[in-house]
Amino acid sequence: MIRLGFTESEKDSEITRYCKENQIRKVFILSHGTSQLPCSFAGHEHIEYSQVIQYKYYYRLLQEIDDSSLIVVNECLRTQNRNDLTYNCIRNYLNQTRHRIVFQYLPIIDTLDDFMILFDLDTRSRWKRDKWRESMRGEIDIVSKRIDVRLDRIYVETDNQTRVAYQREKKRIISGIGLRDPHTIPRNLHLISGKAKLRVVESSRQYVGRNNRFKIPSMHTFKDDSFPDICTIFEYCHNFISFEDFLAKSGQSNIPVLVTDLKVDEWYHERYVALSKRIRDAYTAIHG
């Protein structure tokens, strides 16, 4: 079973229902994140994503998991590498039982190929080398609560001093980039627009950004464990996974975003608008 877009309470209800219908003895919850997924079923154990590959868990779980066990794979789509070691360990656990629920808030990290990682987990990797095709729909029990991500741009004009500083920093970074990751350039340049955005920050709004270097009282970071109901994006994170974690934890889908007239801000905004479209397209490809 694959369940997309479920809230924590909906996940708990789904686990409880499944356990009652299938006489489950124990639930093993493999979950990413510092907070544990709430589970009403008495016989459950949480294993954090980073622990999945550790010997002290790996061999014990292979012995304990049997066909009276339910494995819950919760928000474990963490890398686009389909042959990742952690994924391989999870597959070995799943091979011990026919009872599984794969929970993921969004169907992809970046492209439709990412969905095949979830598909592999639910199908014992029988199509591990294949790409998604329509004929595969009948191979999985999937329910999606579609998350339609909409990014509402709030335009922020920069002053001449900021634009001069931007060009100076751009020249400095490019000249010294050498063999370093070229994504260093937009990551660093994006921070320059922060000062220009300060003048439009409102005390009544909650914000999310990469860090709180400006000591804004209502600022949160993308790495936080929880968020208010509505946050405005002060600046984008570079990593899609961190952004998608924020969506899952906050439950937001319509999101205001501060975007200046600097080219790097435009680049980030268009990058995430394109991602939101790929997410919508992924739902369509999966469900038709």
Looking at the predicted structure, is the pLDDT value of residue 34 above 90?
Answer: no
Other beta carbons less than 10 A from residue 217's beta carbon: 9
| Tens digits of residue pLDDT in 236-263 | 999 999 999 999 999 999 999 999 999 9
What are 68-114's pLDDT values in tens digits?
Answer: 999 999 999 999 999 999 999 999 999 999 999 999 999 999 999 99
Domain boundaries, the chain: 2-144, 150-287
For the domain 2-144, what is the CATH code? 3.40.50.10810
What does the block give as tokens for 34? 């510092």
Q: Over the stretch 188-217, which tens digit does the pLDDT of each residue have? A: 999 999 999 999 999 999 999 999 999 999
pLDDT in tens, 126-168: 999 899 999 999 999 999 999 999 999 999 999 999 999 999 9
Which among 235, 189, 232, 231 is positioned nearest to 212, based on CA atoms?
235
**With 90 as the cut, is the pLDDT of residue 43 above it?**
yes
pLDDT band at 181 (very low <50, low <70, confident <90, very high): confident
Q: Are 215 and 226 in contact (CB under 8 A)?
A: no
Percent residues over pLDDT 90 in the chain: 94
pLDDT in tens, 48-65: 999 999 999 999 999 999
Q: What is the mean pLDDT of the chain?
A: 96
Q: pTM for the full model?
A: 0.95
158-172 per-position pLDDT tens digit: 999 999 999 999 999
Confidence of residue 36 (pLDDT cuts 50, 70, 90): confident
Q: Give the span between the Cα atoms of 232 and 257, in whole angstroms.
A: 6
Q: Please say if the pLDDT value at position 177 is more than 90.
A: no
CA–CA distance, 29 with 154 (Å, rounded to integer): 40
Residue range 257-288, pLDDT digits in tens: 999 999 999 999 999 999 999 999 999 999 98
69 to each of 17, 28, 63, how far by Cα in Å?
A: 14, 7, 11
Helices 55-64 and 85-94 cross at an angle (nearest 10°) of 20
- Given a contact cutoff of 8 angstroms between Cβ atoms, the answer to whether 97 and 71 are in contact is yes
Tokens of 228: 């208010």
Residue 184 has pLDDT above 80, yes or no: yes
Give the contacts of 283 (CB within 8 A, at least 6 positions apart): 107, 144, 146
* Per-residue tokens: 123: 């199908």
More confident residue, 283 or 34: 283
